[in-house]
Amino acid sequence: MTSSSTPAPASQGAQKSRGPLRRLTARGRDEAHRVSSPLELFFDLCFVVAIAQAGMQLVHAVAEGHAGNGILNYAMVFFAIWWAWMNFTWFASAYDNDDPLYRVVTLVQIAGVLVLAAGVSRAFEEHDFLVVWLGYVIMRLAMVAQWLRVARSAEGAERTAALRYACGVLVCLVGWLGLILLPEPARPWVFLVMAIAELCVPVYAERNHETSWHAHHIAERYGLFTIIVLGETIAAATVAVKSAVDEHDALGELLPIAAGGLLIVFSAWWIYFVVPIHGHLASNRQAFLWGYGHYLIFASAAAIGAGLEVAVEQAVGKAHISTLSASAAVTLPTALYLLTVWALHSRHFKVGISQQLILPVTALLVVCCTFLGQWAVLAAGFVAAAAVAVGVTLTARMVGRERRANATAPAA
């Protein structure tokens, strides 16, 4: 996953072979017009099904007053979903040859996430992770098969890296059995240890050989998945508001939540896409940090939708929690999203202390909105929208100053 200053040569074998089964060899970093394939988009949509299930269970847990257990289970399940998605995304950026076998193995991964999604409710309600584990096993074994195909076609350091990936994934699958075999109090520790182990596999595998992922393609893949997650957030909140209106006729209580939620989601989209990140990815060696950090971006974005559902249920009296807790279910993931986007994206492009402080200060103000009672979500939405407006204004002023300076500068 780490970036390399020297582009990898485009695969000759994959380009010349036109048979139904082609060698799985590396694609070039310098390919022009590299975009997401229809298979990748279908892959993303199917993964959002599992994210929706995790968010739904988080809503139930928080609304029933079991926020601690709900957040822990959500973090564990979301890690499995995100990690499988991320591994496929980086692999496909480097090795997608789009032959029938590659497509079939990818569809097997999709089947795995659907199995995982089917087990989410049991994981939350009964702390039974068997079905989740089975779905994860299906996804990861499919990934092992892909890496073994690479090893068969590669030589030297590239072959070693592929075999390290395959072996590392298999070893981790055995370790995840602890979620099933060990007693419940030990499972959070199993998750922590195994999550760290999983994160170490790519670092170890690519120690002597860097896969030839495509910076623009990776940035687009992450951006599209962010859009899909934010779209799921809007869909979940819309369904919650519609149900509450139909059952309770509480439009007055729900309008501030709906308006604030829309402002938060619109601002979240704007803030994420305000800068072109692919150039930064291609020119530095922080790809691991950037890729791993998106766990918090995706998880918090999905949690915003869950929080909006909790706020709706609390407003109509269906949740067994206080207004403060319901407000925190929206404001805390929103603040986490803002801080993470700033850390991974925005801070690399901001000039001056005023621009650098916009998102951190906004995150702090959003947290403070938690204490505004029934107006908390609406206030948080206005704060997020104000941050966008301030950022646009400061950028426009900076561009204007640069243009005036260039206009008045003496010709060389």
Nearest CA to 15 out of 4, 28, 5 is that of 28
Express each pLDDT in 381-401 by its tens digit: 999 999 988 877 776 666 555
Express each pLDDT in 28-63 by its tens digit: 777 887 888 899 999 998 888 899 889 889 999 998
Domains along the chain? 36-213 (no CATH), 216-408 (1.20.1410)
Residue 242's alpha-carbon distances to 58, 239, 291, in angstroms, are: 19, 5, 36
Residue 247's alpha-carbon distances to 80, 147, 241, 251, 316, in angstroms, are: 35, 52, 10, 11, 9
Express each pLDDT in 293-326 by its tens digit: 999 999 999 999 999 999 988 888 888 899 999 9
Express each pLDDT in 334-343 by its tens digit: 999 999 998 8
Dump the DSSP string for 283-348: HSS-HHHHHHHHHHHHHHHHHHHHHHHHHHHHHTT-SSS-HHHHHHHHHHHHHHHHHHHHHHTGGG
Express each pLDDT in 162-185 by its tens digit: 999 999 999 999 999 999 999 988
- Entry pTM: 0.87
Distance in Å from the first CA to the final CA of the chain: 43
Average pLDDT over residues 362-372: 95
